Structure 1
Amino acid sequence: MKQLTYKLSAAFVLAVLLLTGCTKDFKKLNTSPNNTTDVLPGQLLAPALVNTLTYNLSRNRNFNNELMQVTVDMNDGEGRVFRYDFNNTWADYLYNNWYIQLTNLKDMYRLAADTTSPEYNKTYMGISLICQSWIYSLLTDAYGDVPFRRSNLGRDSLIYEPQFDQQKDIYAGIFDNLERANVLLSTSQAIDPAFDPVYNGAVLNWRKFGNSLYLRLLLRISGKQEVAQQAIAKFQEIAGDPLDYPIITTTAESAILKWTGKAPFQNPLTTAVREQDYRAPGIASFFIDHLVAWNDPRINISLGANGINRWGIAQSTEGFKGVPSGYLPGQGGAKKSYFLSNTSTTSMQTDPLAGMILNVAEVKLMLAEATVKGWLTATPAATYYNDGARLSIQQWMPTWNVDIVTHLTNADMQWNDAETLEEKMEKIHLQKYYALFMTDLQQWFEYRRTGHPNLPKGPGLANNGVMPARFNYPVYVQSANPTNYKLAIAAQGPDDISTQVWWQKP
């Protein structure tokens, strides 16, 4: 397996070089970079997951965290993401690389679906559909309308200029795939645990992840009037039927690729980011101030190993202090707290849990939101909220056992049924903000959906102080796929960061 992994990784590197070079060979984006004729379906899973999470962690660190006031780039130059100011070159990286891994996952499905082959396996088919749904959801939530039905067909169908599907149709296609995956995994076959770096062959947990992803995406489109009724009804069906739609309920069931430190499962923040670069951004005031006010155990040094807090955040001489985001050039002041690099005993740069995909705390807080909106009635919203806050901490600190109601009351974050819907939403999404720590671009997506948590607006923000709504399309798409590019912007709106995607529009 190791030899195969290295073979795939080398092919992947070559593909990226071809894709990101000055020629921007668009055909390569729609053609498999790997020779998979002699590969077992399960052998494609780990490389696809490792590579996808590598891209996700990179943009989580230098894009999501800057927009969402986890960190602040202390550089005063132009093009600072934390000022809502970034150039078009940010668009290429995720777009190119997510589509490469979709090709590998589609190959995984094709190999597993061959009923004439001894490798026919419904489990790998279901897992592939879940992983494809996950990546397509990231693509459409980051860019809006993107190729979906006819993407990744360069090799098999010679389609090098795929049509862009509208986001509404992409979501419908994702939901179809998640339904199929749930059925396939309900009569699943065993898989080799060595091929599964997320659940070690526990097929039921993959089914729970797929249905929890389904909830995430139903909630995301639930504010869109034309589909709200159907989305809410399906959310209610999944949440109310644990037999036919099992979902994630424990930290052990959270979808996380745990970085073991051994190739190929090495935390990419270690392998791809220099120590000095990792330490360079300052912690933002918004992120650290709440944790300090709550006496949050994730930054409590007394609970860490060797005097280091769980999230590996350095203290300044003033304690845990942050830098206000969105400051005017020249007015940022000195960096205070920052994330410790891999030379520290505890660092996110080496942490096994940095391979976060979807965790139990997010699920509980989704259910809390659905309950306060009146969609669910069987369990009080307070129960889901308290569970979400507790499990958000215990995902990182399993032995933490302080009574959660006491903890939240001391933090002045206790549940109050008498509060307004907006006040409840702010509490839920402030907890969710921390539950989504290290999870690709989900904080950004959820902020765009809800406007929560309430981020302060610094005086140095560009884009009229409005949170960017999307990435622009990669520049080369305009020349490599001009007809479909023009149709996409005619349908969606101008290709800029202020154009809202379908589920954001009124």
Structure 2
Amino acid sequence: MKINIINISKKVLLAPVMALVLSTACVEDLKEMNLNPNEISSLDYGIQLTKMQLAFTGGSYEIFRTSLGYCFASIQQMADLESPVSGVFLPGDKYLNDPLFASAFFDAAYFSEYRDIADYVNRSSEDPQAINYHAIGRIWKVMSAHRLTDIYGDVPYFDAGQGYISNLWFPKYDAQELIYKDMLKELDEAAASFDDMMPNPGDQDILYNGNIDQWKKFTYSLMLRLAMRISNVAPAESEAWVKKAIQGGVMTSNADLARVTHQTGGWINPFNAGFNTRDRIRLSATFVGWMKDNNDPRLNIIAWVENGGEQMGLPNGFDNTSIQDYPGGADLSAYSNVNPELRQYDSPSLHLTYAEVELLLAEAAIKGWHSGSAKEHYEKGVAAAMRQWDIFGIEIPSEAEINDYLKSHPFDSAKGMEMIGEQYWAATFLVNWEGYSKWRRTGYPVLTPTNYPSNVTNGQIPRRMTYSGEEYSINSDNINEAVSRQGADDFMTRVWWDK
């Protein structure tokens, strides 16, 4: 028999090649089978930005606990009535310790916000077509970080959200002073980097629909807020940044205020559940009393009395027993509640308002850091704060009512800081974490603390919130370093700028 050696050799040589081809094909088939058809391989910047903006706006978990539970109540805009059945809804009303309430903003920020923010900023930094997206991401990182550091003090900032980017799973806590220096730098650089000729997020940006001019105003307005925050501890730096913000161009009308519009059936207003399901929460007697004493036309916009009686706030620091001698007793229907029109599923959320900006400019004028008139800025701020309620679709004070109010409350430079502080307190209702920070910095309005039994502050208004308890288990070295630097992890340790 004649054997074809050449053909055998070819077959022998081709066998490994064919095996490799078949093996490679099988591997590719297996890879294709393991692909998730619903997985997003390249996340759109606009989609992620929307998610970041909604995450900052918050859910009912953190808004009810830290925002309503402590910030609203601590500055005496809200109060609650403890009962044996319901217990306490607002621990800040009586300066009680509820670790889950106090740490809710901390937990939510690092779970819901920072992973997306870090990823978004990192990805957009490498894309030359994403200049505007990247600028907005840097600004939004500051927006989130400044609320967090104002409430807690030293927090993870430079390392935050870096786990999936650089495997940094245990972030160090940064000193608030360094955080503020970087936040102001970030705002400055981001504002300068905007380019009208490059793509923007359009309607995926739920604050400004991609309007770059409004983003610049927002950025410099946020810079003004942050710059003024450090005025007691770093006056020279504060002055320089205030002037830079003013020169850059801040908000000029209520059309510029930063808000998120909500949708029924979508991402609903997080205050809705807090106000509507906690039936022992009412407006504070301090807040309602101040508005009544000043004949403030906002009272009937903000407040509503269930039984139809006269507006009457609930005093802070009372329970079912001690309230009995108060005019309304324990009948909560007799006390002023938040107007239902302000707490619907689709009610907007406010983040930074034009009214705040004008009042900050009035303060800058008083300090001699701005050539404008403190009186004019004060009046513009008060008027804007009264007009801003129209975004809720409700009737606002008439121009005649606003003018009458300003005439009956003329600006007095000798009491300028007090008047500005009180109006800022009223203007930031529903932006209450900002009102809480402003009160701590200025001491206005002057509030009388409560001294409820078993309070943990010795009868003093809390100066900060406490860290998440989980951090002591999973990030113990870093949190302990922060506590040793900043001070005890309790409600009375002051953050860096609170002097």
Q: TM-score w.r.t. structure 1 length? A: 0.81
* CA positional deviation for 1:142: 0.9
1:348 is aligned to 2:346:
no
Of stretches 282-291 and 167-176 in structure 1, the one that deviates more from structure 2 is 282-291
The match for 1:445 is 437
User: Any idea what the Cα deviations from partners look like across 1:114-173, whole Å, max 9, x if unmatched?
Assistant: 337xxx311111111111001111111111111111121111211111111101001111
Shift of 1:440: 4.5
Match in the other structure for 1:121: 130
Residues of 2 paired with 1:188 and 1:456: CA distance?
54
Counterpart in the other structure of 2:104:
93
Q: Report the CA distance between 1:487 and its aligned residue.
A: 1.1
1:147 counterpart SS class: coil
Separation in 2 of the partners of 1:476 and 1:57?
20
Matched, 1:54 2:58: yes
The yes-or-no answer on 1:433 pairing with 2:425 is yes
Find the aligned partners of 1:192 and 1:238 in 2 and give their Cα distance.
24
Distance 1:61 1:472, change over 3 A: closer
Counterpart CA distance in 2 for 1:376 and 1:88 is: 42
1:255 aligns with 2:258: yes
SS at match of 2:298: helix
Contact map agreement 2:173 2:482 (CA 8 A) in 1: yes
Q: Secondary structure at the match of 1:292?
A: helix
Matched, 1:110 2:118: no
Q: CA deviation at 1:269?
A: 3.1
- After TM superposition, list the pairs within 5 Å mapping 1:305-384 onto structure 2: 310-311=301-302, 313-314=304-305, 316=307, 318-327=309-318, 330-332=321-323, 333-334=329-330, 335=332, 336-339=334-337, 346-350=341-345, 352-353=347-348, 355-377=349-371, 379-384=372-377
Q: Mapping of 1:270-281 within 5 angstroms?
A: 270=272, 272-273=273-274, 275-277=276-278, 279-281=279-281
Find the counterpart in structure 2 of residue 268 from structure 1.
270
Give the conservation status (yes or no) of the 8 Å contact 2:282–2:338.
no
2:176 corresponds to 1:167: yes
Q: 2:488 aligns with which of 485, 494, 497?
A: 494
Q: C-alpha distance in 1, partners of 2:182/2:130?
A: 22
- Partner secondary structure for residue 194 of structure 2: helix
1:388 to 381, 384, 393: 381
After superposition, give the CA deviation of every residue in 1:424-476 in whole Å (9 maximum; x if it has no partner).
Answer: 21111111111101114111111111111111233427312222111111111
Residue pair 1:385, 1:415 contacting (<8 A) in 2 also:
yes
Whether the 8 Å contact between 2:139 and 2:187 is mirrored in structure 1 is yes
Question: Which is worse superposed, 48-57 or 156-165?
Answer: 48-57
Q: Which residue of 2 aligns with 1:230?
A: 237
Shift of residue 329 of structure 1? 6.8
Q: 2-side partners of 1:274 and 1:290: how far apart? A: 22
Query: Would the alpha carbon gap of residues 351 and 287 (structure 1) be closer, same or farther in structure 2, given more than 3 Å must change?
Result: farther
What TM-score does the superposition give when structure 2 sets the normalisation length? 0.82
1:80-107 Cα offsets, whole Å, 9 max, x none, are 3201112222243211221231221222
Structure 2 residue runs of 5 or longer lacking an equivalent are 1-37, 324-328, 391-395
The separation in 1 between residues aligned to 2:368 and 2:403, in whole angstroms, is 23
State whether residues 304 and 336 of structure 2, in contact with CA within 8 Å, keep that contact through their aligned partners in structure 1.
yes
Q: Number of matched residues? A: 440
Amino acid at match of 1:393: M
> Is 1:69 paired with 2:67?
no
Structure 1, 165-174 or 94-103: larger mean CA deviation: 94-103
Residues 351 and 385 of structure 1: CA distance in aligned 2, closer, same or farther (over 3 Å): farther
Aligned-partner Cα distance in 2 for 1:451–1:292:
21
2:449 counterpart (457, 476, 500)? 457
What CA distance in whole angstroms lies between the structure 2 residues aligned with 1:142 and 1:35? 36
User: What is the distance in 2 between the residues matched to 1:91 and 1:171?
Assistant: 22
Separation in 2, partners of 1:91, 1:276: 20
Structure 1: segments with no counterpart, 5+ residues = 1-33, 301-309
What SS does the corresponding residue of 2:232 show, helix, strand or coil? Answer: coil
Q: Aligned partners of 1:252, 1:158: CA distance in 2, in Å?
A: 42
Q: CA deviation at 1:186?
A: 5.1
- Displacement of 1:35: 7.4
Is the contact made by 1:215 and 1:235 (CA closer than 8 Å) also made in structure 2?
yes
Distance 1:503 1:35, change over 3 A: farther
Question: Partners of 1:35 and 1:81 in 2: how far apart?
Answer: 43
**2:461 alignment partner, one of 467, 489, 495:** 467
AA matched with 2:170? E
Deviation at 1:381, TM superposition (A): 0.6
Tell me which residue corresponds to 2:46: 42
The match for 2:8 is none
1:24 corresponds in structure 2 to: none
- The letter of the residue matching 1:61 is L
Q: What is the alpha-carbon distance in structure 2 between the residues aligned to residue 409 and residue 428 of structure 1?
A: 16
Instruction: Decide whether the 8 Å contact of 2:363 with 2:417 is kept in 1.
Output: yes
Distance 1:347 1:91 in 2: 25
Q: SS at 2:289's partner residue? A: helix
Q: Say whether the 8 Å CA contact 1:72–1:325 is kept in structure 2.
A: yes
Aligned to 2:406: 408
Contact kept in structure 1, 2:264 and 2:345, CA below 8 Å: yes
